[in-house]
Amino acid sequence: MQELTFFRQARHDGGIRMGIELNNEVLLLNHLESGPAELEDDPLASALLWFVDIRCRGKELPTEAEAARRWFLLNRGMLKEGLEEFAGELLAGTDDDHPNSLTRSPSHSSEESNGDLVVQYVCSSIRRVKGRELSDAIQDFAEHFEEYLDQLSALSPALR
């Protein structure tokens, strides 16, 4: 079974990193949003504040970078609905000790998933980010889903 993950991460220096991984190997990545220059030499600059993952598991998931981007675009409706539901759940608060998650087996995914698709939405705050902030980050992910997919660049196999 393959695992395809669309992730978005915020760093201590204010930078944002996002991408798509297949079985923990980065296929598409964006490093355009960096933090302020004054934090460049901070030893904690690259430490994560929070992360949000959309982890998709299934037998028929794509294994190439552009095919993965198309798959996320084809399934954006149900993935965005899941993000919005997850964001709503976090408004009630979070437990700082472990990641929060929501798991769904969507019945209305694209034909390519063959009905075996399981989607897990996972987030965590590493540095005591409040539940409301995580909820806002997840809602932002849903609202700008297509835009964020467009910002990703394929990595050459040598860079993976």
Q: What is the pLDDT of residues 67-103, one digit of tens each?
A: 999 999 999 999 999 999 999 988 766 666 678 899 9
Residue 39 clears pLDDT 80, i.e. is over it: no
Which carries the bigger pLDDT value, residue 139 or residue 158? 139
Range of the domain at 55: 2-159
Backbone torsion region of residue 23, taken as left when φ is above 0, otherwise alpha when ψ lies between -120 and 50, otherwise beta: left
Residue 108 clears pLDDT 60, i.e. is over it: no
**Buried/exposed code over 56-79 (b: 16+ C-beta within 10 A; e: otherwise):** bbbeebbeebeebbebbebbeebb
Residue 32 clears pLDDT 60, i.e. is over it: no
What mean pLDDT is reported for the chain? 85
- Grouping H, G, I as helix, E, B as strand and the rest as coil, residue 116 is coil
Predicted TM-score (pTM) of the model is 0.86
Residue 122 clears pLDDT 50, i.e. is over it: yes
Number of domains the chain is built from: 1
Q: Given pLDDT bands bounded at 50, 70 and 90, which one contains residue 125?
A: confident
| Residue 160, pLDDT score | 47
Average pLDDT on 137-149 reads: 96
Assigned token pair, 17:
């990193």
Average pLDDT on 104-127 reads: 74
What residues contact residue 147 under an 8 Å CB cut-off, 6+ apart? none
